[in-house]
């Protein structure tokens, strides 16, 4: 899976930099086109000339050393790379990356790239277990970076424990396995909705809900990484897409989301409605701001179009998945929604549970398909939950459960 791939290897300043030499050699032997970026401190452990000889390509150490005046080196490398491997990744470099610091060639290139990034940490066992390091790694994992866990053994500092850079053969094996598994949605088109809707009362007021769009955006990001071509229809949300294979469509109201979902529905293979759409909207919308009046204020509401039900009534080849965010009897309501709206599967979550509510970075869900096969997904980051959901959806499609 690395044959003919453009692999950018980032080497940061730790004693394990010597292992990156073997990694460069083995990647090259497997047919990869390898280019190496070294930090200033990495060059104190291993000479750039060593990596140049092993990769048969120039080695980059300085952001301002432009080898080709027709190109900006760090942008060119960022666009060139099919994947980026950071080995070894020191505690310092992980901290820089997690906080968006771009003060050298390697960190600047990483911020400019959309390629898959694999990070192989290497450091003292106590450094590896420090809360700051652990928090930085969790943050990066939440952004979609992939970690290759360090091995346990005798460390250069004299300690025995976790923190030793994984062996080059293992690093390549892990990446190849991930690349192989990580493309099972290649050739598929996926439509997902996310976020809340806003139903206008007057120019300054509207009805909405607590949805932030995190779950829907996580599904879109995970699907793009798995090879799908993704259309994301989102209500107002501060979330950002992180992949070039995602086409983002911004809407505001339930009616706008209804129209957008039906526009893209026919051309997609998998459709996941994760948005929290308003069930009601004000019957009358005022052109001017309503002034404060004595006493109470009543607003007459009318039903919005049921997006999920209308999609279920019109589906042909699509695998249609809904979400059921409940606070009481979630499984009962979820089963009812699955059957009533002609879905192929439903994702049920109790939003009153700690770690599963709106705005959380984690989720806890139950996946239920039309054969009543139930899969519990325990608390995990929304990106991890998204990947597990897409794995289950792909399984059911392969098993013909449509």
What are the structural domains, with CATH classification, of the chain?
A: 6-181 (3.40.50.1950), 189-398 (3.40.50.10300)
- Residue 171: phi and psi, rounded to 5, are -60, -45
Residue with tokens 């001017």: 288
Task: Tell me what pLDDT residue 124 has.
Answer: 84
Task: Tell me what pLDDT residue 155 has.
Answer: 42
Task: Tell me what pLDDT residue 159 has.
Answer: 47
274 pLDDT higher than 60: yes
> How confident is the model over 195-245, as pLDDT tens digits?
999 999 999 999 999 899 999 999 999 998 888 999 999 999 999 887 778
Task: Tell me what pLDDT residue 182 has.
Answer: 62
Looking at the DSSP bridge assignments, the partners of residue 8 are: 35, 84
Burial 155-194 (b: 16+ CB within 10 A, else e): beeeeebbbbbbebeebbebbeebbeebebbeebbbbbbb
Task: Tell me what pLDDT residue 389 has.
Answer: 96
> How confident is the model over 12-58, as pLDDT tens digits?
999 999 999 999 999 999 999 999 999 999 999 999 999 999 999 99
- Per the prediction, the chain carries an average pLDDT of 90
Nearest Cα to Cα of residue 80 among 109, 100, 106: 109
303 pLDDT higher than 70: yes
The first and second tokens of residue 321, run together, are 């998945």
Nearest Cα to Cα of residue 87 among 138, 33, 144, 18: 18
Residue 120 in contact with residue 86, Cβ under 8 Å?
Answer: yes
> How confident is the model over 371-394, as pLDDT tens digits?
989 999 998 889 889 999 999 999
Looking at the annotation, which residues are catalytic? 157
Cα–Cα distance measured from residue 388 to residue 383, given in angstroms and rounded to the nearest whole number: 9
Q: What is the mean pLDDT of residues 129-154?
A: 82
Q: How far are the Cα atoms of 94, 271, 399 from residue 391, in angstroms, in the given order?
A: 29, 14, 12
323 pLDDT higher than 50: yes
345 pLDDT higher than 90: yes
158 pLDDT higher than 60: no
62 pLDDT higher than 50: yes
Q: Which residues contact 105 (CB under 8 A, 6 or more apart)?
A: 37, 39, 60, 61, 62, 63, 73, 74
- Within a 10 A sphere around the Cβ of 320, how many other Cβ atoms? 24
Task: Tell me what pLDDT residue 14 has.
Answer: 92
> How confident is the model over 176-200, as pLDDT tens digits?
877 766 678 989 999 999 999 999 9
Residue with tokens 């992980």: 94
């Amino acid at each position: 899976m690395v044959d003919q791939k453009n692999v950018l290897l980032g080497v940061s300043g730790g004693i394990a930099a010597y292992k990156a030499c073997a990694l460069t050699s083995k990647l090259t032997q497997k047919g990869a086109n390898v280019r190496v970026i070294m930090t200033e401190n990495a060059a104190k452990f291993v000479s750039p000339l060593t990596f140049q000889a092993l990769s048969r390509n120039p080695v980059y150490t300085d952001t301002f050393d432009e080898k080709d005046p027709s190109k900006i080196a760090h942008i060119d490398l960022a666009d060139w790379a099919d994947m980026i491997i950071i080995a070894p990744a020191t505690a310092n470099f992980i901290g820089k990356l997690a906080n968006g610091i771009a003060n050298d060639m390697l960190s600047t290139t990483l911020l400019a790239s959309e390629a898959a990034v694999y990070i192989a940490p290497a450091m003292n066992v106590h450094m590896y277990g420090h809360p700051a390091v652990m928090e930085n790694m969790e943050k990066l994992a939440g952004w979609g970076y992939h970690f290759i866990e360090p091995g346990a053994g005798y460390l250069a500092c004299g300690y025995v424990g976790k923190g030793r850079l994984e062996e080059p053969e293992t690093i390549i094996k892990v990446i190849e396995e991930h690349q192989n598994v990580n493309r099972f949605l290649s050739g598929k088109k996926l439509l997902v909705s996310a976020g809340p809707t806003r139903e206008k009362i007057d120019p300054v007021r509207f009805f909405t809900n607590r949805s932030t769009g995190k779950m829907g955006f996580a599904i879109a990001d995970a699907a793009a990484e798995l090879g799908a071509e993704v259309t994301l229809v989102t209500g107002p949300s501060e979330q950002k897409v992180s992949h070039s294979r995602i086409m983002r469509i911004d809407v505001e109201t339930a009616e706008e989301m209804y129209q957008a979902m039906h526009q893209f529905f026919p051309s997609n293979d998998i459709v996941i409605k994760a948005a929290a759409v308003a069930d009601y909207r004000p019957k009358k919308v005022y052109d001017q701001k309503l002034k404060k009046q004595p006493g109470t204020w009543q607003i007459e509401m009318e039903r919005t179009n049921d997006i999920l039900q209308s999609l279920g009534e019109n589906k042909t080849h699509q695998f249609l998945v809904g979400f059921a965010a409940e606070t009481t009897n979630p499984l009962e309501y979820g089963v009812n929604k699955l059957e009533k709206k002609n879905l192929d599967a439903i994702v049920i979550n109790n939003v009153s549970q700690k770690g599963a509510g709106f705005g959380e970075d984690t989720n806890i869900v139950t996946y239920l398909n039309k054969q009543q096969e139930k899969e519990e997904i325990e608390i995990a980051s929304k990106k991890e939950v998204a990947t597990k959901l897409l794995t289950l959806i792909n399984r059911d499609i392969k098993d013909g459960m449509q």
